[in-house]
Amino acid sequence: MTNPPSTVTLTVHGIGSPVRPLDPGEDEVWVTVKQFEDVLDAVAGRTDVRLTFDDANASDVEIALPHLMKRGLTGQFFVPAGLLGRPGRLTEENVRELLDAGMTLGSHGWAHCDWRRLSPEQVPDEMTKAAEVLAGFSGTPVTEVSAPFGSYDRHVLRRLREAGATKVYTSDTGRAHPEAWLHARTSLRDTIDRAWIDQVLDGKPSLPRRARNLAARTVKRLRG
Ligand SMILES: [Zn+2]
């Protein structure tokens, strides 16, 4: 029996010592340089693993970029376009640097808001303007998005479809079919070690865990 093709998409938020005050709980998704390097070493040469970076933290360019380039790896950077140039975040020049190095962009909305709680007035900025600003850097349409805080429901998904999103990345963990429109990712956390990396890249989650993940995703997709 062969398994259907599937990929693991990892999400990096911040690396090293944060250079801006973090939101409550945000430190749990920052990793050390050593943890990040261990992940890259495990990922190198794997065509079934993809790397994504959310939040446009300055560490994307200062730490991630040189380590990626050293290993010939690439990543997709999901930028909250309205936060460019803020303290501790990427600058416009940094975004060009990423593109010049062969990295790709995705949208992480405008101001890093929970998309389930948007007012109607916020929707165009979050789901259209953000992507347009990023397309201005890349010169090509930016149609892939990651949901801030991994937060979505059926209304969010409908709005994203209407805005032309071709792929929506979540934080639901687990493997995903490469073509899946709603695409699960797994976040690196401050507790990760080699055993965790091996488990995420090669381990099969237990049947009860897979059933739990599936149930949680179904609820999110349908809730309103
Ligand atoms: Zn985020």
The CATH number of the domain where 28 resides is what?
Answer: 3.20.20.370
- Report how far ligand 1's centroid is from the alpha carbon of 111 (Å): 10
> How confident is the model at residue 215, as a pLDDT?
82
Q: What is the pTM of this model?
A: 0.93
- Report how far ligand 1's centroid is from the alpha carbon of 205 (Å): 25
Q: Average pLDDT over the chain, rounded to whole?
A: 94
pLDDT, average across residues 21-35: 95
- Report how far ligand 1's centroid is from the alpha carbon of 202 (Å): 26
- Report how far ligand 1's centroid is from the alpha carbon of 201 (Å): 22
Categorize the per-residue pLDDT at 3 as very low, low, confident or very high, splitting at 50, 70 and 90: low
- Report how far ligand 1's centroid is from the alpha carbon of 38 (Å): 22
Domain total in the chain: 1
Domain that holds residue 85: 8-222
- Report how far ligand 1's centroid is from the alpha carbon of 78 (Å): 8
- Report how far ligand 1's centroid is from the alpha carbon of 3 (Å): 31
Rounded Cα distance, 65 and 97, in Å? 9
> How confident is the model at residue 221, as a pLDDT?
85
The answer to whether residue 35 sits within a structural domain is yes
- Report how far ligand 1's centroid is from the alpha carbon of 80 (Å): 8
The answer to whether residue 104 sits within a structural domain is yes
For ligand 1, an ion, list residues with CB under 5 A. Answer: 54-55, 148
pLDDT, average across residues 36-51: 96
> How confident is the model at residue 2, as a pLDDT?
54
- Report how far ligand 1's centroid is from the alpha carbon of 73 (Å): 22
Rounded Cα distance, 121 and 138, in Å? 27
- Report how far ligand 1's centroid is from the alpha carbon of 155 (Å): 19
Which percentage of the chain shows pLDDT scores above 90?
86
- Report how far ligand 1's centroid is from the alpha carbon of 13 (Å): 7
- Report how far ligand 1's centroid is from the alpha carbon of 2 (Å): 35
The answer to whether residue 70 sits within a structural domain is yes
The answer to whether residue 71 sits within a structural domain is yes
Q: Which of 22-26, 48-52, 53-57, 166-170 is predicted with the least confidence, judged by mean pLDDT?
A: 22-26
Exposed e or buried b per residue across 157-182, where buried means at least 16 C-beta atoms within 10 angstroms of its C-beta: bebbeebebebbbbbbbbbbeeeeeb
The answer to whether residue 1 sits within a structural domain is no
- The yes-or-no verdict on residue 27 having pLDDT over 60 is yes
> How confident is the model at residue 76, as a pLDDT?
98
The answer to whether residue 3 sits within a structural domain is no
The β-bridge partners of 89 are 57
- Report how far ligand 1's centroid is from the alpha carbon of 148 (Å): 4
Give 210-219's long-range contacts (Cβ < 8 A, gap of 24+). Answer: 210/174, 213/172, 213/173, 213/174, 213/184, 216/172, 217/170, 217/172, 217/182, 217/184
Rounded Cα distance, 116 and 124, in Å? 14
- Report how far ligand 1's centroid is from the alpha carbon of 44 (Å): 25
- Report how far ligand 1's centroid is from the alpha carbon of 51 (Å): 15
The answer to whether residue 178 sits within a structural domain is yes
Q: Any residues with CB less than 8 A from the CB of 27 and at least 6 apart, and which?
A: 18, 190
> How confident is the model at residue 200, as a pLDDT?
94
Q: Residue 52's closest CA among 180, 154, 177, 186?
A: 186
